[in-house]
């Protein structure tokens, strides 16, 4: 089984040895497919595409911010993120955007507060 954070149960994405989601110390690497499923489950305003018409594994997760569109998709067996930056930086940018969205959207705020993620 892929590594998960002991605190927030997110698939491991490291930022300076800490979980990108809750900032607790972690080790190892998370599974990109699990990361997509995790984000799809916890981001209520995200658009999600599955492998088979709404079923099966998550193929793509995208979220429209105020200025930037964030997306992560499995392509050719690897995770491709837009904007095109390192995965840890992408997660940081996404969570900062979600935190900004949570200010005015109670559904996003509720999803963020229940996830165990650190607010940005």
pLDDT band at 62, cuts 50/70/90?
very high
pLDDT band at 2, cuts 50/70/90?
low
Distance CA 82, CA 87 (A): 10
Q: Model-level pTM greater than 0.85? A: no
Could you read off the pLDDT of 4-25 as tens digits, one per residue?
Answer: 888 888 899 988 889 888 889 9
Distance CA 72, CA 81 (A): 4
Provide the sign of the torsion angle of the four alpha carbons 50, 29, 24, 103, taken in this order: negative
Distance CA 37, CA 57 (A): 7
Q: Reply yes or no on whether the pLDDT at 89 is more than 90.
A: yes
* Of residues 66 and 84, more confidently modeled: 84
User: Residue 71: its pLDDT value, please?
Assistant: 96
User: Residue 1: its pLDDT value, please?
Assistant: 46
13, 44, 67, 104 from 38: Cα distances, Å: 12, 11, 24, 23
DSSP code for 66: S
């Amino acid at each position: 089984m892929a590594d998960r954070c002991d605190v927030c149960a997110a698939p491991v994405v490291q930022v300076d040895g800490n979980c990108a989601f809750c900032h607790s110390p972690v080790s190892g690497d998370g599974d990109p497919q699990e990361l997509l499923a995790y984000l799809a489950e916890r981001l209520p305003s995200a658009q999600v595409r599955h492998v088979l018409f709404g079923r099966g594994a998550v193929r793509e997760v995208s979220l429209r911010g105020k200025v930037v569109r964030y997306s992560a998709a499995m392509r050719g067996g690897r995770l491709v993120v837009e904007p095109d930056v390192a995965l840890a930086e992408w997660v940081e940018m996404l969570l900062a955007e979600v935190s900004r969205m949570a200010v005015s959207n109670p559904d996003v705020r509720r999803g963020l507060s229940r996830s165990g993620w650190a607010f940005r």
